[in-house]
Amino acid sequence: MLTTLRHKHLLGIADLSPDEIVLVLDTAEAMKEVGQRTIKKVPTLRGRTVINLFFEPSTRTRTSFEIAEKRLSADTLNVAIASSSVVKGETLVDTAMNLEAMAPSMIVLRHASSGACHLLSRICKASIVNAGDGMHEHPTQALLDAFTIRERKGRLGGLKVAIVGDLLHSRVLRSNVLLLTKLGADVWVCAPATLIPPGLKQMGVTVTTRVDEAVAGADVIMMLRIQLERMQGAFFPSQREYFSTFGMTEARVARAKPDVIIMHPGPINRGVEIASEVADGPHSVILDQVANGVAVRMAVLYLLAGEPQNNAAAD
């Protein structure tokens, strides 16, 4: 039975095998138990330094990583764009090499450029954890989504999962498609034709522009945020028209299985991609996703840390 990950870094779901994904999910169950104790702390990463390097604003993901690190007793620090050398014109490579010189065990990176984590993984000794790179991947989001689905449904294989929203710009989409197809889910993706990247079909999903078709009989409906700041390019005529054509309403949810769960990676735009009645309704597991995010990130950090370092030096 698999007990460790085969890669030093978590750059994306693309690198993970199905048994590695299951290992993360199983480990996260144990970590979730830690979070339910009165004293929510284990010594697992004591003496390890983890740097959260965030080049994009993030509340949920950064907080979730930080709590996960603290619960594992790591020494953590946050480097945010506004307070970093980058505003002085330093390159990502130079920033990373300087942080690397201080010998962190892990760097959790959020960056606007796809592939930024790959770049760092080639120059850093530290393990790189992708906390979202451009339009590429957001692997811990997909892992926490999978954890949440498995918790509710007991499995992933054979489930119909409908993903609706901005497919073109979404890193959450790419990671989820990779993960869900690896574990045998029946994945449907739905968006206006202007927000469907060419080549998506080759990723093993059913692509449709009809939301009713996507959600019909679905076990899981996963909404993706419409990034209003990106919609300047006239991908659709108006927010109003988007909501009337693709917005997740109670009427649309009614076409899914009676026990469907509604997911959203946040932050949500109420009344744009999802009706408040749905986001706050009985099928919503949106806040469970947030809660599970801590456990899943603890599992990832724990597994990437591997055996305690510097054993030889201690002898």
Partner 1 sequence: MKRLLKGGRVVDPVNGRDGIFDVLIDGDRISAVGTNLTADGAEVINIPAGLVVVPGLIDMHVHLREPGQEHKETVATGVASAVAGGFTAVACMPNTKPVNDNAGVTKLILQKAAEANLARVYPIGAVSRGQKGEELADIAELKEAGCVAVTDDGLPVATAILARRALEYTSMFNMPVIEHCEDQTLKGDGVAHEGPVAASLGLRGIPGVAEAITAGRDILLAEMTGGHIHIAHMSAWTTIEAVRQGKSRGVKVTCEVCPHHFTLTDDLLAAPVAYDTNTKMNPPLREARDRDAMIAGIVDGTVDVISTDHAPHHYDEKNVEFDRAPFGIVGLETAVPITLDKLVHTGLITLSRMVELMSVNPAKILNVPGGSLSPGAPADITILALELLVTVDKAKLVSKSKNTPFHGWSFKGGVAATIVGGRTVYSNPAAGMQ
Residue number with CB closer to partner 1 (23 or 173) = 173
Pick the stretch among 40-48, 80-88, 158-166, 193-201 that binds partner 1 (CB under 8 A): 193-201
Our finding on whether 114 is near partner 1 (CB under 8 A) is yes
Q: For residue 137, which phi and psi values (nearest 5 degrees)? A: -140, 160
Among 119, 207, 216, 291, binds partner 1 (CB under 8 A): 119
Pick the stretch among 64-72, 111-119, 157-165, 209-217 that binds partner 1 (CB under 8 A): 111-119
Question: Which residue bears the tokens 């993970």?
Answer: 16
Residue number with CB closer to partner 1 (109 or 144) = 109
Question: Which residue bears the tokens 């790419």?
Answer: 174
Among 9, 111, 252, 264, binds partner 1 (CB under 8 A): 111
Our finding on whether 146 is near partner 1 (CB under 8 A) is no
Q: Which of residues 155-174 bind partner 1 (CB under 8 A)?
A: 171, 174
Nearest approach, Cβ of 135 to partner 1 (angstroms)?
Answer: 4
Element (H, E) at 67: helix 60-71
Our finding on whether 202 is near partner 1 (CB under 8 A) is yes
Our finding on whether 79 is near partner 1 (CB under 8 A) is no
Among 203, 216, 290, 291, binds partner 1 (CB under 8 A): 203
Residue number with CB closer to partner 1 (231 or 305) = 231
Question: Which residue bears the tokens 């959790």?
Answer: 108
User: What are the strands of the beta sheet with 261-263, ordered from one edge?
Assistant: 206-208, 186-190, 160-164, 220-223, 261-263
Nearest approach, Cβ of 55 to partner 1 (angstroms)?
Answer: 10
Question: Contact at 8 Å (CB) between 22 and 3?
Answer: no
Residues 6+ apart with CB under 8 A from 218: 160, 161, 162, 188, 255, 256, 257, 260
Element (H, E) at 176: helix 171-182
Pick the stretch among 37-45, 66-74, 151-159, 198-206 that binds partner 1 (CB under 8 A): 198-206
Among 43, 89, 154, 233, binds partner 1 (CB under 8 A): 233
Q: For residue 144, which phi and psi values (nearest 5 degrees)? A: -70, -30
Count of residues in the chain: 315
Residue number with CB closer to partner 1 (45 or 183) = 183
Question: Contact at 8 Å (CB) between 68 and 304?
Answer: no
Our finding on whether 181 is near partner 1 (CB under 8 A) is no
Question: Contact at 8 Å (CB) between 60 and 293?
Answer: yes
Our finding on whether 197 is near partner 1 (CB under 8 A) is yes
| Alpha-carbon gap, residue 84 to 7, rounded angstroms | 29
Residue 208: count of CB within 10 angstroms of its CB:
16
| Alpha-carbon gap, residue 16 to 50, rounded angstroms | 22
Our finding on whether 135 is near partner 1 (CB under 8 A) is yes
Our finding on whether 228 is near partner 1 (CB under 8 A) is no
Our finding on whether 95 is near partner 1 (CB under 8 A) is no
Residue number with CB closer to partner 1 (25 or 116) = 116
Using CB under 8 A as the criterion, which residues of the chain lie in contact with partner 1 when the complex forms? 14, 91-93, 111, 113-116, 118-119, 122, 133-137, 171, 174, 197-200, 202-203, 233
